[in-house]
Structure formats: C-alpha cells, structure tokens
Amino acid sequence: MSTSSSSHPSPLSPERVAALTEREEAAFKAGRRKSYELVKRAEKHSPGGVPSSFQDSPPFPVFIDRGKGSHVWDADGNEYLDFHNGFGVNVVGHANPRIVEAVSLRIALGSHFAQPVEDFIVVAEELANRFGLPQWRFTNSGTESTLDAVRLARAFTGREGIMKMEATYHGHHDSLMVSVEPSPDKMGPADAPNPVPQSEGIPKAIVSLVTVVPFNNLEATEAAFQRRPDQIACIIVEPAMMNIGFVLPEDGYLAGLKEIAHRHGALLVFDEVKTGVTLARGGATERFGVTPDIVCLAKAIGGGLPCGAVGGRDDIMAMISEGRVSQMGTFNGNALTMAASRVTLTEILTPMAYAHFDALGEVLQGGLDSVIAEHELPFHAITLGARGGLTYRAQRVRNYRDYLEIDKSIAYLAWLFQSNRGVLMAPGAEENWTVSVEHSEADVQHFVNNFEAMARELRA
Ligand SMILES: Cc1ncc(COP(=O)(O)O)c(C=O)c1O
C-alpha cells in the first residue's frame, strides 16, 4: 500500500482553477456533440437521459460505443484509456478473450435455467478460498448482497438496529440509504452523526433503525453501542471507504470494530463490493488481515457481467438452509454470469495479475508523488492493488468530515482534463480509478503525464 502527501503545499488560485475549467469544459463539449444529442434523445423516455442516476454527471454523460483491453471509444469516436472501468467492474479489461470465449460457449448452450450449474460450485469454492468464509450465495448486484447481509444479521441476532459509517454507500435499498453524503446542515455532531435519508421515499421508521458513526473512530463506535444496548444486529462497513475518494482504515481499526461488535453481541459485515478481489486476491479481508462474519461482493467478481455474492460463517449461513432466512432471486447463479465469474477468478485474476496491479501502482504512485512534490500541490495519492485515487487535499482523509473540506472544483477540472487527453475517469471527487490486467505501464504513465500537464497549468 502506498500513500503520499506534499509536505509544503501552497494554495491554488481559485481564479486559475475557474479559468482552466471553463476552457476544458468548452473543449469537452465541442468534442462530444453526438453524446449530447443522444442524451437529449434519451431524456424523452428516461429521467436525466441515463439508465442510472450514477451515470448522470456534468457537463453531460458520455455515451460509450465499445471497449477493447484498456481502451474504450465513445459515441463521437473519441478514444480513451479506461480508468473508470465501469465503476471498478472491469479489472479483466474490455472484451477479454477468455471472457468472450467462456460467455460465447455458454450462450450457445443456453444462458438461463434458474437451476444450478456446475460453474456456480467452482465460483463458491474459489470465493471461500479467497475470503476464508465457508458458505456463499449469489445475487446480481452489490445492493442485493448488502440487503441479504443485513437480513442475515438481523435474523441471526434477533435485533433490528444497524450501525453504519457516515458516508459509506452500500447500494440502493432502504435499510442502508442513510447518511450516504448527508448535507452539512442535517448531519449533526461529528462523533454521533444524525441518520439522514439519502432520498425521499424512505420510511422514517427504517431510518430510525440506523445508528451512524464516523469511520476510523473506535471510541465513537463503542459509545454508540452503549447508547443502544442490545439493539444493533451488525456493523456494516466498507473496510476501505471508496465512495468518498479512497479512505484507508487506520492500523488496528478493523480488528477493533470486530472486537467491539462481538462484545456487544453484533456481527461485523464487510461491504467488499468495491474492494473485493481488487485490493488483493481476498480483497480487504486479506489485505488488512481481519475476517468479518459476513462479506458482500459484486462488481469485479463477475468479469463484466452482473454478479453479486454474499459469504458468511457456517452458523450464520445455516439460517438459509434451515429456511429461517429467505435468500432468493430468479437470476442468482445465472449460467452466463457464473461462466464469466469462473474464468475471472480462476484464469484471469491469478497471482500474476495482482503482481501486475502492484507494478502499475508503483508507477502511478511514484509518478504522481513526484508531480505533487515538484509543483508543491496540496494533494495526495493513494494506490492499493488495482485501485487508487488522487485526493485534492494535502492531509490524509480519515472520514466524511475531512472529505467535506476538499475543494471539489479541482476534482471536476481534473476529470475534464483527463477526459480531453484520452483518459476516462469515473466522475466526481468521491470516485477513484481502477486499472485492469490489460493496462500497461505506458497506459498508467499517460495518466501521470496528463496530471503533470494540469499541475504545470495550475501553477503557471
Ligand atoms: C461499497 C458499495 N456497496 C454496494 C454498492 C452497490 O452495488 P450495485 O451498484 O451493484 O448495486 C456499491 C456501488 O457502487 C458500492 O460502491
């Protein structure tokens, strides 16, 4: 794991940032007329002209035509190196020949039966081996995985309360759409934040079951348990927060959470939808050496197909086989998805792939660190496995309240700057990058070169 921060940062000129943003936004729009037309057409039949609100980003969404390896092409024919990778899904790269072969073979034999196929056993065995948890069930998304995890925890403990960290995102079901990015006027005290619904339409009764605590703060967690004795079924946590940039757990924090949860009769759930199989073979569970009671997976495990999974201890998962907890879904363990997942886990994400991610991470970290130091920028970079991010603040971010202090205008400029120079990033200050097995050292150096070009202009 590598991190950096500039030791002598000096502030950037807001006027310079605004002027560069205006210039870059104009260039972005001029080069994406077809995308703009498609958004306008889509708006007639879809809110915001996008299939999911996450795809609705300023100045307007980029429509993608195709991808190959580390590259994607948009509807206007612009070519990019893909650092977005479908919100961290495509660590196998686009149209990976092994995935194409497995999926083509499978679809010719029929893609869906709603009956188990042998591949599902191979995937469950592989996940058990990677995450050290024996029992697995499948879903189609991260949302469904965390939904199942919460239900399992509630059933196992006989309690209804849930504890989550302020600003973690766990998908779009009511129980966890609480305090995802709460507005400062509603969020309450830093050590005992208010539970704030993420959207209209979420029942108050559901919100009131959620206790919100700050990340990286064991004292606040202990105090929250004491305020609600015998009520909390589980702590659910992204072991490294990846929806407010990239926030690492402090030493001993995850082990401390597990100890506190167990002492209070609650379970520890890791939401590894983003970190799973990308930070390491066994995700954050392996990387940070703490095995939770339940792990939620999705995104990268499906090799580009919609796959999720929830794994747990024997005694917890036995509630499913005993019929006490219902875990189901028409497309769970779908034959096409399982074929892609089997190949992803057994043939593509091999130990060599993780060594490759580490090597790319070193180029990124080294390159970004030198640019930050040379231009004395108030930023820092973090790389870990296939993941990484730039945070536009000199000091490390420990939690949501730190994240609020970041100047988001620079994140937008950086996104435009990379887009206009052939790198597609996930939009927003809260996002980070994902590389794939197909990315080369030259690809990641391109990212660093663009960053350096922006740094020079920021300090010009
Ligand atoms: C940590 C985390 N959990 C859960 C989810 C929800 O996953 P999905 O979008 O597949 O439902 C996401 C999505 O970004 C996520 O980042």
Residue 262 above 60 pLDDT?
yes
Q: Is the confidence at residue 6, as pLDDT, over 60?
A: no
CA distance 257 to 264: 11
User: Measured in angstroms, how far is the CA atom of residue 387 from the centroid of ligand 1?
Assistant: 15
Q: Which ligand 1 atom is at minimum distance from the Cα of 168?
A: 1
Nearest CA to ligand 1 atom 16: 274
Average pLDDT over residues 30-43: 98
What's the CA gap between 240 and 441, in Å, rounded? 25
- What average pLDDT is seen over the chain? 96
For a ligand 1 pocket test, name from 138, 169, 296, 337 the mutation site with the most ligand atoms within 8 angstroms of its C-beta: 169
Query: How remote is the C-alpha of 219 from its chain's centroid?
Result: 26
Where do we find the tokens 């130091």? 373
- Name the percent of the chain lying above pLDDT 70: 98
Q: In the block, which residue shows the tokens 């729009």?
A: 29
What Cα–Cα distance (Å) separates residue 167 from each residue in 153, 403, 443? 21, 10, 32
| Token pair for 255 | 């082990």
pLDDT at 11: 86
pLDDT of residue 26: 98
Segment 343-359 shows an average pLDDT of 98
Tell me the torsion sign for CA atoms 299, 304, 307, 310: negative
Is residue 253 annotated as part of the catalytic site, yes or no?
Answer: no
Write out pLDDT tens, residues 300-315: 999 999 999 999 999 9
Residue 247 is classified by DSSP as B
What is the per-residue pLDDT for 345?
98
The pLDDT value given to residue 5: 53
pLDDT tier for residue 2 given thresholds of 50, 70 and 90: low
Q: Is the pLDDT score of 36 beyond 90?
A: yes
Taking CB atoms and a 6 Å cutoff, what residues make up the pocket around ligand 1?
A: 87, 141-143, 146, 169-171, 238, 243, 271, 273-274, 298
In order of 240, 399, 417, the CA distances from 217 in angstroms are 13, 9, 36
DSSP H or E stretch at residue 310: strand 308-312
Residue-level pLDDT at 10: 80
Three-class secondary structure of residue 122 per DSSP: helix
At residue 155 the predicted structure's pLDDT band, cuts being 50, 70 and 90, is: very high
Residue 13 gets which letter from DSSP? P
Query: Is the pLDDT confidence value at 395 over 80?
Result: yes
Distance CA 184, CA 174 (A): 21
Give the range among 22-26, 62-66, 92-96, 408-412 with minimum mean pLDDT.
408-412
pLDDT tens track for 183-198: 999 999 999 999 999 9
To the nearest 10°, the Cα dihedral for 450, 455, 458, 460? Answer: -110
Residue with CA closest to ligand 1 atom 13: 171
Which token pair is 350?
A: 């091999």
pLDDT, one tens digit per residue, over 60-113 is 999 999 999 999 999 999 999 999 999 999 999 999 999 999 999 999 999 999
- β-strands 267-271, 232-237 pairing: parallel
Report angle CA 287, 288, 289 to the nearest 5 degrees. 95
Phi-psi region of 233 (alpha: psi -120 to 50; beta: other; left: phi over 0): alpha
What phi and psi values does residue 309 have, to the nearest 5 degrees?
-155, 150
Q: State pTM to two decimals.
A: 0.97
The pLDDT tens digits of the residues spanning 103-150 come to 999 999 999 999 999 999 999 999 999 999 999 999 999 999 999 999
Confidence of residue 442 (pLDDT cuts 50, 70, 90): very high
Under the banding of pLDDT at 50, 70 and 90, the label for residue 429 is confident
Contact 192, 263 (CB under 8 A): no
Taking 70 as the threshold, does the pLDDT of residue 3 lie above it? Answer: no
Question: Tokens 């490294």 appear where?
Answer: 240
Strand 433-434's sheet: what is its strand order?
Answer: 2-3, 380-384, 387-391, 433-434
